Structure 1
Amino acid sequence: MGTRTVLRGGVVLSMDPTVGDFDRGDVLVEDGAIVAVGRDLPTSDADVLDCTGKIVLPGFVNTHHHMFQTALRSYWADALDIDYFLQSRAGDEALFHQYTPEDVYWGEFGGALENLSAGTTTVVDTSQCSYTPEHTDAALDGIRRAGIRSVFSLSPVFGDHEPDPRYAHPDDIHRILAAESGLIRPALGYHVDEDLFRLARDLDVPMFAHVNDGNWGRVLEEFETDGLLGPAITYIHCLGLADSSWQAIERTGGKVSVSCIAEQTLAMGRPALQSALDRRLPVGFGTDAVSIAPVDFFSQMRAAYTLQRGAVDDSRTPVSTRDILHMATLGGAQAAHLDHLVGSLTPGKRADVIVLNARALNAGPLLHAPGTVLHMDTGNVETVLVDGRIVKADGRLVDVDVNGVLDALAKSAEGLLRRSGARSILLTSCRAS
């Protein structure tokens, strides 16, 4: 396609109140940016993508994902948090410690493709696999090749294993910052750590911190006293936090990422969605890991919608489907610190756009667009653009050998399980004795 493309005649959900929505509208893209949204745009020199009978909206933004785990799909679907942490990290034979750079590459590449195919155009990837700089480079290569927009949160490797002499966290962030450009934005992450918070502040990069219980929330309160909290920090999970911890996050302009399905699957506690909403904090959805829970945002949106509404009482307002859609797009972009670039169909922003087929048995007749989106699934994702480039067309990823990727992931999984000595759980469970 040329440098000018118009998505013509779709139901447009811009997620920008100043732009508005259209029952029949156009989105004009030029050189990777959105230049106009409206009805019957004059675009005689543009390539036309007919969106009649379809819903056009911003791509979803996944604010927390460990894409390297793709080869371990559903391995911990039955796990409680103790099973997951012990089997993945405890001892030299734990599954994560078996990762080679090649395993990391295929996990990241396959995971990025899965997100793109499901309509997610931006992922905050918490690496957690940076055993050596070669592992980190393999992760970045996989993300780059897939063509997804990503915030790469360089994270430490945990577990009682012998670290590789080349282990370079967090110092490797300097090398990554010097080399990265384009669709990948480096960041720091994983846990509530004073040195990491200071480094992120000094380097002016985002920080993504797991806050898994109230004890870590109290540490955040101490960090506020030391001037370490600020608007460039996203707090992941935020489980069991005291009001005083939430107040510290609110006072310092923090953002929140919730992974409703993974958190409940692992029995980590009730997701903090309502607590974030009560304080009107920017909140986005994460998927955590495909080893635990599904990655597609249709599942995530429905889980969040029913979770919040299941606890509504006289003191709380039920969320709407549009509220949930906001969290999946612009709210996610805010939590990823990319809302100046993506998250809404706003002229001037980059063209990360998805087109959903509403002429399908699970979507038609189209009576209420936001509700219909929540009731869809990945099969409705027909077209995906990232930075104006079409990466999925007519329901298929462009120039991707899907079978080849699946074969590589299967080979990776076999090697990981063999090297760790883990048993096959094809017909049993990770919790089976």
Structure 2
Amino acid sequence: MTPTVLLRNGVVIDTAPAPTVLGKADVLVEDGRIAAVGPGLAAPPDAEVVEAAGKLVLPGFVDTHRHTWQAGIRATVPDGTLPAYLERVLGELAPRYRPDDVYAGTLAGVLECLDSGITTLVDWSHIQLSPGHTDANVEALRASGIRAVFGYCYGGDGGPGALAAETRRVRGEYFDAPAGTLTMAMAALGPEIAGEERALAEWRLARDLGLPVTVHMGGHGPESAARGLAFLADAGLLKHPTTYVHANHYTGEEFERIAGSGGTVSVAPAIEAALGIGPPPTGRARNAGVPTGLGADTVASGPGDMFSIMRAAYFLERGRPGGAGLGFTAADALRMATIEGAEVAGLADVTGSLTPGKHADILVLSVDTGTAAAHDPIAAVVLSADTRNVDTVLVGGRVVKRGGVLGGHDVPALLDSLSESAARLTRR
């Protein structure tokens, strides 16, 4: 049974409907959910009291796009471009992965998330080379304790029939019954990467199985972006729940079309800038009314913590030519990293804010020399804090990090396994 927890006397920041500093207050967690938020809450007799005085208390971060399995090939493509990343990571390294490499990389990647305050993750997993790879991926997510959407991207042979059979197996074996903190999405390769036939199979299967779609679309140039979106519309697929990842090249009119269809966008600002995909569409998507979240994407070429990603989004948007992005605020960045990200992940009714009744995915940040004397706590989180400040993390009311230390895992042993895997994968 999940323990009752009272976070006492922290400076509380809530994020719904917009980031707001509530001031010094308590947060009561019962049965894994937020029961109350306010000053001077009474501690139930069985409550574990966590003293948060002088610390910041806020919802856990939501990463809406990460290839989590790549934790073992960190920094393998620095200073590269998208073609270099595709050649090195997907062309050379991915085919070498065995199921145990997937397990070690995914578990290590998820613990990196939890350690840095990310409590919800969309795991866009295109390392599904066999059923064994898939089983290892899901087991690692389960073992980690994070809240995750498993974005399943079929990577085997056999065409649409094999794709459908294996996706149905995964859906039935792991996600038919309520799965606690894990849910499933279709991570689609079509239409811009793998073509329209693959896209038809993926979207129709997602519709049949009741799965949302998350897809790399809009990042391959204006013509490809327009053609792909038009294809979805012509095929009657546009209104299916879809997250467009790297939507850099959509026009304002196309973003309005996405908004009207109920679609969402995931921006990976650091990776989009570093790999030359294009200027992150943060402000343009949000101004069109599209819910827009943040993602780390790949640690092969960029950072894996949400503090770095929020800062990348903030500075790249505000630095748009002609002052076009100067209306973007630190509060906007925090909203994207929490409640807006939860909306993109399809979990806004579950997480992303401190609304009573939601699952208790909570982050407690300490204040040190880098964040002391901050006049705006929201700006301090976005512009000043880093992973050193992550003191306590709860997922579904369960404490997974306390006093700056991850619990429940033999981290040194896992890192040894990851190092062994990385050495084999990258051996020339």
Settle same-fold status: TM greater than 0.5: yes
Q: Which residue of structure 1 aligns with residue 137 of structure 2?
A: 139
Identity over aligned residues, as a percent? 38
Query: Of residues 370, 373, 376 in structure 2, which corresponds to 1:362?
Result: 370
Q: Is the 8 A contact 2:318 2:324 kept in 1?
A: no
Q: Is the 8 A contact 1:2 1:47 kept in 2?
A: no
Q: Which residue of structure 1 aligns with residue 64 of structure 2?
A: 63
Q: Which amino acid aligns with 1:190?
A: A
Task: Tell which deviates more after alignment, 187-196 or 387-396.
Answer: 187-196
Q: Which amino acid aligns with 2:166?
A: D
Is residue 202 of structure 2 the alignment partner of residue 196 of structure 1? yes
3-state SS, counterpart of residue 239 of structure 1: coil
The total of aligned residue pairs comes to 410
- Shift of the 18–323 alpha-carbon distance from structure 1 to 2, 3 Å rule, reads closer
Q: Is the 8 A contact 1:187 1:207 kept in 2?
A: yes
Once the two structures are superposed, what CA deviation does each residue of 1:183-219 show, in whole Å capped at 9, x if it has no partner?
1101101333222112212222110010122314322
Cα shift at 1:18: 9.1
Q: Is the 8 A contact 1:143 1:150 kept in 2?
A: yes
- The residue correspondences of 1:205-284 to structure 2 (distance < 5 A) are 205-211=211-217, 212-213=219-220, 214=222, 215-230=224-239, 232-284=241-293
Q: Which residue of structure 2 aligns with residue 384 of structure 1?
A: 393
Q: Which amino acid aligns with 1:251?
A: G
Uncovered stretches (5+) of structure 1, i.e. residues with no partner: 423-433
Q: Which residue of structure 1 aligns with residue 193 of structure 2?
A: none
Q: Which amino acid aligns with 2:163?
A: H
Between the aligned partners of 2:235 and 2:131, the Cα distance in structure 1 is 32
Cα shift at 1:415: 1.1
Q: Which residue of structure 1 aligns with residue 183 of structure 2?
A: 185
3-state SS, counterpart of residue 42 of structure 1: coil
3-state SS, counterpart of residue 373 of structure 1: helix
Q: Which residue of structure 2 aligns with residue 75 of structure 1?
A: 76
Task: Tell which deviates more after alignment, 315-324 or 15-24.
Answer: 15-24
Between the aligned partners of 2:127 and 2:325, the Cα distance in structure 1 is 40
Cα shift at 1:241: 1.9
Cα shift at 1:168: 4.9
Between the aligned partners of 2:2 and 2:206, the Cα distance in structure 1 is 39
Between the aligned partners of 1:283 and 1:116, the Cα distance in structure 2 is 22
Q: Which residue of structure 2 aligns with residue 107 of structure 1?
A: 105
Between the aligned partners of 1:315 and 1:123, the Cα distance in structure 2 is 30
Q: Is the 8 A contact 1:22 1:39 kept in 2?
A: no
Once the two structures are superposed, what CA deviation does each residue of 1:370-427 show, in whole Å capped at 9, x if it has no partner?
0110111000000000011000000000132222121111100111123xxx3xxxxx
Cα shift at 1:292: 1.2
Task: Tell which deviates more after alignment, 264-273 or 190-199.
Answer: 190-199
Between the aligned partners of 1:86 and 1:114, the Cα distance in structure 2 is 25
Q: Which residue of structure 2 aligns with residue 7 of structure 1?
A: 7
Q: Which residue of structure 2 aligns with residue 427 of structure 1?
A: none
RMSD: 2.0
Cα shift at 1:86: 1.5
Cα shift at 1:317: 4.8
3-state SS, counterpart of residue 13 of structure 1: strand
Between the aligned partners of 1:121 and 1:231, the Cα distance in structure 2 is 26
Cα shift at 1:262: 0.8
- The residue correspondences of 1:120-199 to structure 2 (distance < 5 A) are 120-157=118-155, 163=157, 168-178=162-172, 179-180=174-175, 181-192=179-190, 193-199=199-205
- Shift of the 397–164 alpha-carbon distance from structure 1 to 2, 3 Å rule, reads farther
- Shift of the 356–108 alpha-carbon distance from structure 1 to 2, 3 Å rule, reads same
Cα shift at 1:315: 5.8
3-state SS, counterpart of residue 43 of structure 2: coil
Between the aligned partners of 1:371 and 1:205, the Cα distance in structure 2 is 36
Q: Which amino acid aligns with 1:116?
A: L
Between the aligned partners of 2:422 and 2:181, the Cα distance in structure 1 is 28
Cα shift at 1:47: 1.6
Q: Which residue of structure 1 aligns with residue 309 of structure 2?
A: 300
Uncovered stretches (5+) of structure 2, i.e. residues with no partner: 191-198
Cα shift at 1:77: 1.6
TM norm structure 2:
0.91
Between the aligned partners of 1:195 and 1:82, the Cα distance in structure 2 is 26
3-state SS, counterpart of residue 128 of structure 1: strand
Q: Is the 8 A contact 1:383 1:393 kept in 2?
A: yes
- Shift of the 173–199 alpha-carbon distance from structure 1 to 2, 3 Å rule, reads same
3-state SS, counterpart of residue 169 of structure 1: helix
Between the aligned partners of 1:366 and 1:135, the Cα distance in structure 2 is 46
Is residue 46 of structure 2 the alignment partner of residue 37 of structure 1? no
Between the aligned partners of 1:343 and 1:337, the Cα distance in structure 2 is 11
